[in-house]
Amino acid sequence: MLKSVRDVESNIMGVVKYYLVAYNAIQAVGWSYILAQLCLHYAHGGRPEGVWPALGRHVALFQYAAVLEIVHALLNLVKTPFLTTLIQVFSRVALVTVCIYIPDAALQWPVSLMIFAWALTEVIRYSFYAFNQFKAVPYVLGWLRYTLFIVLYPMGVTGETLTLWNSLDYIHRTQLWSISMPNSFNFAFSLYHFVLVALVVYVPGLPWLYSYMLSQRARFIKTSYADTTKKTA
């Protein structure tokens, strides 16, 4: 009986493993395509206002799909902390939604900066996760994963905050998704003020995320050094 339970657990873990490999591989390919198309857009003389119309549907597809990562963390299919995953995915989904519904924000140069930082980060991150399912991450991929964020995170946050800032005038002018009093629910909501609060939250948010990644980087370097020492001993 015990053996049969273990066999079932082993089979489930096997299915989960290959599901995560497939998910991360598809995301890596998708973001590689987005990164390549972004580079080609500018190589062919494209302008910032043409980036979202050209790439927006692809960015939305792969970023909305990342909502699955919240489920992965919730079910403990991955080791990433649930709260970290929730905040990161929610913020990006919100930004994609802003770009879809607010042309004033989507057709500005910060969107290019944001997408470039996202795409390069995700190509490396998802590739890392796919290889990690087999415990076979190439050292250079791990190094890129835990080093490039030092530049890419500030770049991404700059693009994200400026995109939100560029959306404020449109939101204030149209009262997009805002609820005013009085109403039958006795409830009011201002998207304009919500975005302002979100911009303020970015201030402590970046150091918090940075410190998490720096701790992960230190752990990676320590583990890699220990592995190298064992091999040369």
Q: Which residues are catalytic?
A: 153, 160
CA dist list (Å): 1 to 4, 14, 15, 54, 84: 5, 20, 21, 57, 39
The distance from CA 199 to its chain's CA centroid, rounded to whole angstroms, is 17
Token pair of 161, please?
């905050």
Distance CA 48, CA 57 (A): 16
Identify the H or E element spanning 151: helix 149-174
Q: State how far the Cα of 129 lies from the Cα of 178, in Å rounded to an integer.
A: 39
Provide the 3-class DSSP secondary structure of residue 189.
Answer: strand
Map tokens 């835990």 to a residue: 146
